[in-house]
Amino acid sequence: MRAFTAAAIAAFLLASPSGAQDRRTVTEAEFLAGLDERHPAVATLRAEIGEAAADQIRARTLSAAELAIDREAPEAAPRQIDLTLRWQPPRPDRRRLEIAAAGAGLEAARARFAGGRLRLLESARETFARWAVGTSATEVLERQVTALEALSDRERRRAEAGEVSGLDADRVAVAVARSRSDLARASADRAAALASARAWRPDLPSGVAPELPPLPPSAAVSETTHPRLAALTSELERARVTERLLGKIAEVPTVVAGWQRQEAAGETFDGPLLGLSWPLPLLDRRRAERTAARARVEALEAELAFAEREIAAAREGSLRAYEELRAAALGAGSAALEVPSLIAAASASFTAGETDLTDLLDTLRSSTDIEIDALELRAEALAAHRQLVLSSAPLSEATPAPQAAGALAPATEFPGDPR
């Protein structure tokens, strides 16, 4: 009976999860492939680009002319009809500055869109990692619970038959209860992560299982400017152009042209009208606006300088953290590969009577802890890698790039989805 019990434990713990060979799986790259330009989370970021593009169109558009018709018909005076057209031509140097400011604003909006999209992708990667790690942890704990339940049933029957003390059966029952609690927590985490994953990809087939994301080598820092720095640089350029624009005080005169017709004592007089309307900046010289513009330029210069230092420090810190955690996770993964031989040795020792139930339970618990610790370290390393990507240039090679713009990848594109 003792040999049979040890063999059953080893079989349960060393076996692969049921149906693992045939079940459908999805990789991180396949999961992210659906986050294209049409994804709602991405589409919500495009509003600012549209508004900035509208500002650029507005800056390029000439002001509209104003057509007016005035009629005067007093009883004791000549009747008069005026048809006038008023138009203020743009001041060429001011128009160039307005267009340049709008263009800088559009570039800033595009940079912020790139940064927001990068954050969305890393948020989706976080969700997938939680789902994948939670699924793997649940499988490990399910195998442990199944093995301990089998051991508990056998120890209880042996206690009833008087072969062992009831204390041994109770100890195994306590171990089963503890493992079930751990399994319940892991299952709850997996269910929550799966719900979040379906918010990103509602087309995920039922029963699909995630593959653990790999731990890529440290991402090389791209020469492309970080989205935050690109946005601040464009904002600073717009602020500087705006400051120069506010220094252009004089306005171009409004041109007035038209036709006037007068009727008096049965006679008619008509002729053209020509004139100018020219506002003189004698009192309002935009001093307040220029003061505010100068303050904004100085603030953006300081913000850009600090952002450069902050991002450089974040890159260095994220790189070191990822390298440390990646090495630890790979080492823990290698240790987890030794779990089958450890369980086999403990089972053989228990069968031969060299160790008792306490040693066997400790080994089973330690083996599970090794696997769970390896998964937790992988999760921490993946989190550090996401921070490294966020602190580096946009869409580095370490981040799977989404597919070209189009409809969301349908469920039929996931491998093994039967239709």
Burial of 255 per CB tally in 10 Å (0-12, 13-18, 19+): middle
Task: Supply angle C-alpha 314, 316, 319, rounded to 5.
Answer: 100
Tell me phi and psi for residue 35, to 5 degrees: -90, 65
At 147 the pLDDT is 83
At 47 the pLDDT is 92
Q: How many CB atoms lie within 10 A of CB 412?
A: 10
At 339 the pLDDT is 81
pLDDT, tens digit (0-9, with 9 covering 90-100), for 177-197: 998 999 999 999 999 999 999
At 4 the pLDDT is 46
At 397 the pLDDT is 37
Q: Indicate the residue type of 311.
A: I
Lookup result for tokens 């509003």 = 47
Domain segments of the chain as ranges: 2-59+101-249+295-398
Residue 33's region, left for phi above 0, alpha for psi from -120 to 50, else beta, is alpha
Predicted TM-score (pTM) of this structure: 0.78
- Low-confidence residues of the chain, pLDDT below 50? 1, 4, 16-21, 395-419
Distance, in Å, from the CA atom of 8 to the CA atom of 20, rounded to the nearest integer, reads 20
At 412 the pLDDT is 35
pLDDT, tens digit (0-9, with 9 covering 90-100), for 323-374: 999 999 999 988 888 788 887 887 787 777 777 777 788 888 888 888 999 9
Distance, in Å, from the CA atom of 410 to the CA atom of 46, rounded to the nearest integer, reads 24
CATH architecture of 2-59+101-249+295-398: Up-down Bundle (1.20)
Residues 66, 87 contacting (CB under 8 angstroms): yes
Torsion sign across C-alpha atoms 390, 391, 392, 397 = negative
Lookup result for tokens 């940079």 = 111
Retrieve residue 90's tokens.
């743009």
At 6 the pLDDT is 52
At 406 the pLDDT is 33
- Residue closest to 13 by CA, chosen among 333, 340, 336, 350: 340
Distance, in Å, from the CA atom of 69 to the CA atom of 387, rounded to the nearest integer, reads 66
At 23 the pLDDT is 57
Average pLDDT value for the chain: 83
- Widest Cα–Cα separation across the chain: 137
